[in-house]
Amino acid sequence: MRSTTSTQTAETPTSVRPPRHVAIIMDGNNRWAKKRGLPRGAGHKAGVESVRRILEACAEQGVEVLTLFAFSSENWRRPQAEVSTLMSLLLNALKREVKRLNKNNIRLRVIGNRDRFSEAIQKHMAEAEKLTANNSQFTVVIAADYGGQWDILQATQKIAAMVVSGELQLSDINTEVIQSKIAIGDLPAPDLCIRTGGEQRISNFLLWQMAYTELYFTDILWPDFGKDEFLKALQDYRSRDRRFGRTSDTDTAKC
Look at residue 255 and tell me if it is in a domain. no
197: left (phi over 0), alpha (psi -120 to 50) or beta: left
How many domains, the chain?
A: 1
Distance (Å, whole) CA 169 – CA 33? 53
Q: List all residues 6 or more positions away from 62 whose beta carbon is below 8 Å from its beta carbon.
A: 17, 18
* Per-residue pLDDT reduced to its tens digit, 14-64: 445 889 999 999 999 999 999 999 999 999 999 999 999 999 999 999 999
More reliable by pLDDT, 69 or 250: 69
Residue 198 included in any domain: yes
- Classify 240 as helix, strand or coil: coil
pLDDT at residue 245 is higher than 80: no
Closest CA to 23 of 129, 118, 143, 181: 143
| Mean per-residue pLDDT, 144-160 | 97
Determine, yes or no, domain membership for 41: yes
Per-residue confidence band for 248, with pLDDT thresholds at 50, 70 and 90: low
Q: Which of 72-81, 108-117, 130-139, 238-247 has the lowest mean pLDDT?
A: 238-247
Residue 180 lies in a domain: no
Q: Which domain holds residue 192?
A: 15-147+188-239
What number of CA atoms fall less than 13 Å from residue 145's CA on the CB side?
A: 14
Q: What is the pLDDT of residue 141?
A: 98
**Which CATH number do you get for residue 209?**
3.40.1180.10
Q: What is the pLDDT of residues 82-91, one digit of tens each?
A: 999 999 999 9
Q: What is the layout of strands, in order, in the sheet containing 106-111? A: 106-111, 138-146, 65-72, 21-25, 192-195, 214-217
Query: Do 112 and 146 form a contact (C-beta atoms < 8 A)?
Result: yes
Q: What is the pLDDT of residue 3?
A: 37
Does residue 165 belong to any structural domain of this protein?
no
pLDDT tens-digit map of 100-133: 999 999 999 999 999 999 999 999 999 999 999 9
pLDDT reported for residue 5: 37
Residues with catalytic roles = 27, 75
Q: Quick one: which of 233, 204, 203 has its CA closest to 217?
A: 233
Within-domain flag for 114: yes
Give the count of alpha carbons within 13 A of 153, CB side only.
8
Strand segments (E) across 29-101? 65-72
**pLDDT interval class at 241 (50, 70, 90):** confident
Give CA–CA dist 83/76, Å, rounded: 7
Residue 8 lies in a domain: no
> What is the chain's mean pLDDT, rounded?
90
Cα(164)–Cα(232) distance, integer angstroms: 49
247 and 255 Cβ atoms separated by less than 8 Å: yes
pLDDT, residue 31, reads 97
The reported pLDDT for the residue numbered 247 is 63
What pTM was computed for the model? 0.88
Is 167 within the bounds of a domain?
no
User: Using alpha carbons only, what angle is made at residue 74 by residues 72 and 79, rounded to the nearest 5 degrees?
Assistant: 105
